[in-house]
Amino acid sequence: MKKEIHPEYREVVFQDISSDFSFLTRSSVKTQETITWEDGNEYPLVKIEVSSRSHPFFTGKQRVVQSGGQVDRFRKRFGMTRGSTSA
């Protein structure tokens, strides 16, 4: 590998803020925050919103999005009726 062209690859803690779940892995992501891990060492910290602990696919808790009325509101707003098309 060429020297000084690759980002620093180091151990980083990722923390899921919605489920208070953290894991230690290696990454080149840049961060300003640090955290003391279970082993007593200090590592860079990256806060994330979704991980395997909070994602509906992995938890089995699907959120249903209410979008049925959105299509009707769009058609009403722009004067379209079902079956009509504008050319």
E strand spans, 1-87: 10-16, 21-27, 33-36, 42-48
Average pLDDT over residues 16-39: 89
**What predicted TM-score, i.e. pTM, was given to this entire model?**
0.58
Average pLDDT over residues 14-28: 87
Angle value at C-alpha 78, between 75 and 80, nearest 5 degrees = 50
* Residue of higher predicted confidence among 83 and 26: 26
Domain map (residue ranges) of the chain: 10-77
Biggest CA-to-CA distance, the chain: 67
Q: Which pLDDT tens digit goes with each residue over 33-84?
A: 999 999 999 999 988 877 767 665 555 566 555 556 777 777 788 876 666 5
Q: Is the pLDDT of residue 21 over 60?
A: yes
What's residue 66's pLDDT?
Answer: 55
